[in-house]
Chains A and B, each alone.
Chain A
């Protein structure tokens, strides 16, 4: 099983990267020095900075400024941002609707009911549009998360956080371009009492101070909330909640008829809250529903912080995907056992599997493996600005690719990863894309692009490929990294009762379980990484929210 030719690869580790840089703009001509010359002698009065640009391993142009956040230059932005009363508040809701619908099915033959289901969650929606009147910026988003079926204290990110590639969740509000500072809008809606809370962070230019640098800006963070009652300045506008139901009788049943003549009744029950009227538009008098601000924090940002790429001059110890990937020594990948597991891979020796359709084939053996990949280039991925005010369930961005390689060779994969099986195929490559669109990507940040791997549990041989990109220096021309590592994992394998696998659910069986040697929970490898500058923007990708 062991491939000696591949063992040689183990001894190769690319731990040094060649870099080169040259004078920026025109490396051949150079830059003109401000020399002070007298007959026969030229000198520099003061030290002079010669700007450069990286030319290898990628051509990284001098950092360019980002576009400022939208609405930053709106007249009277800063003053209007600090008005807190309901009448003149900058935060206004222009559209809102929440609904959660359940479905109950009754099957009957004539007047005889022989099946009646409990209501189950059918669909749900949270739609909101928030206008910031100080910047004229509109944040718009829609969510369909099952968590909305019941009361939840979750904070929903209603801003362009690069998660809306598949159109499932239009977090809106963004122009599509990468900004140094995003306007962040967070929404919390409690269906239990109809309370809506909004936290938003936005930016205003420092235009009122003629002595200030034009790049100066203020960051405003405000919190606001509203309860569903008809009170305040406009008593005709507010969030209204109610419920209703629709019935369909005598409809065909979804499955083949149990007996001739059977039919099904359906009852859709909906709880809803809307702004002003049932269709969700604020069409009543008074226009948008302005919400008083409960708290406003204003922070003066130093010059350039809204437009300069990181690290800012004078504040250089900040995380940069590009620098972390290119310039801090070789990239390291740490293969980590998943939480709650003590194995990297397992093979069931006797294939008794009560939770799969294979239960009628007890001779089938299965193999599964799963781990997390901690890429040192992405490990420092920073959290969103407003992490402290948000639910930890939706905003953690730890830079780790979770559940890489999660795979059990069941269904059409029977035995392909299990040595000794007739269908065993050690050349099988498992790709993230195998899991399809509905499978969570396993990462909570946009930079990871893909992974693929081959793994042979008999020898511990692993080929792991992983790609990512960095656009913190240029959104238009990001740097793409393709890494690969291949070698034999130091696995300790033992026979015994297998704990339930994450991939396969509750399973009762014996087999071989393999963890890292010495009981360690992680193993560090140094991949070979090549990089290139993409000539096009990397499209937004869906991530694990």
Chain B
């Protein structure tokens, strides 16, 4: 686990639905997918956002996808991810929460 150079690697990103904004027709079919690998914990997740899937789009245009594990959790980090994607600004924000315990796995 590295705390010195924390970063996430984004793979297989696709966004469908135009440039964002107020075009309701585009929004109705918009979706995006990406995979994210945490260098810190080694966890990889697959994240998806799609209109009508019960996920959130805030009034500021940020889309909050659902993320599910796409592989093992090598450090038993119980990682939880929260992503925000803004189609208009093409920005991605990432937040990860995890736990670190005894490397031998003897958690209390």
Q: Identify the A interface with B (CB < 8 A).
A: 13, 15-24, 27-33, 35, 37, 39-44, 47-54, 60, 62-63, 309-311, 313, 316, 320, 322-323, 326-330, 473
Shortest beta-carbon distance from B74 to chain A in Å = 14
Specify which of B4, B9, B32, B84 is in contact with A63 (CB 8 Å cutoff). Answer: B4
Shortest beta-carbon distance from B54 to chain A in Å = 22
Shortest beta-carbon distance from B56 to chain A in Å = 15
CA distance A315 to B86 in the complex (A): 35
Across the two chains, which residue of chain A brings its CB closest to B99?
A16
Knowing A40-B17, A41-B14, A42-B15 touch, does A63 contact B92 (C-beta < 8 A)?
Answer: no
Across the two chains, which residue of chain B brings its CB closest to A28?
B93
CA distance A310 to B19 in the complex (A): 41
**Which residues of chain B have C-beta atoms less than 8 A from A13's C-beta?**
108
Knowing A21-B40, A47-B10, A51-B6 touch, does A33 contact B101 (C-beta < 8 A)?
Answer: no
Q: Say whether B90 contacts A29, CB under 8 Å.
A: no
Q: Does B22 lie at the interface of the complex (its beta carbon under 8 Å from any beta carbon of A)?
A: no
Specify which of A20, A23, A50, A322 is in contact with B97 (CB 8 Å cutoff). Answer: A20
Shortest beta-carbon distance from A321 to chain B in Å = 11
Q: Say whether B108 contacts A41, CB under 8 Å.
A: no
CA distance A53 to B32 in the complex (A): 25
Across the two chains, which residue of chain B brings its CB closest to A22?
B95
**Which residues of chain B have C-beta atoms less than 8 A from A41's C-beta?**
14-16
Shortest beta-carbon distance from A42 to chain B in Å = 4
Q: Identify the B interface with A (CB < 8 A).
A: 1-19, 26, 32, 34, 40, 84-87, 89-104, 106-108
Q: Say whether B93 contacts A311, CB under 8 Å.
A: no
| 9 smallest beta-carbon distances between A and B, as pairs | A30-B93, A30-B91, A52-B6, A44-B13, A42-B15, A16-B101, A22-B95, A329-B103, A20-B97
Specify which of A19, A28, A31, A62 is in contact with B98 (CB 8 Å cutoff). Answer: A19
CA distance A107 to B101 in the complex (A): 70
Across the two chains, which residue of chain A brings its CB closest to B12?
A44
Shortest beta-carbon distance from A305 to chain B in Å = 15
Specify which of A15, A54, A320, A322 is in contact with B101 (CB 8 Å cutoff). Answer: A15
Q: Say whether B97 contacts A31, CB under 8 Å.
A: no
CA distance A50 to B90 in the complex (A): 13
**Which residues of chain B have C-beta atoms less than 8 A from A16's C-beta?**
99-101, 107-108
CA distance A326 to B1 in the complex (A): 10
CA distance A20 to B103 in the complex (A): 18
Shortest beta-carbon distance from B103 to chain A in Å = 4
Q: Say whether A20 contacts B3, CB under 8 Å.
A: no
Shortest beta-carbon distance from B40 to chain A in Å = 7
Across the two chains, which residue of chain A brings its CB closest to B101?
A16
**Which residues of chain A have C-beta atoms less than 8 A from B7's C-beta?**
49-52
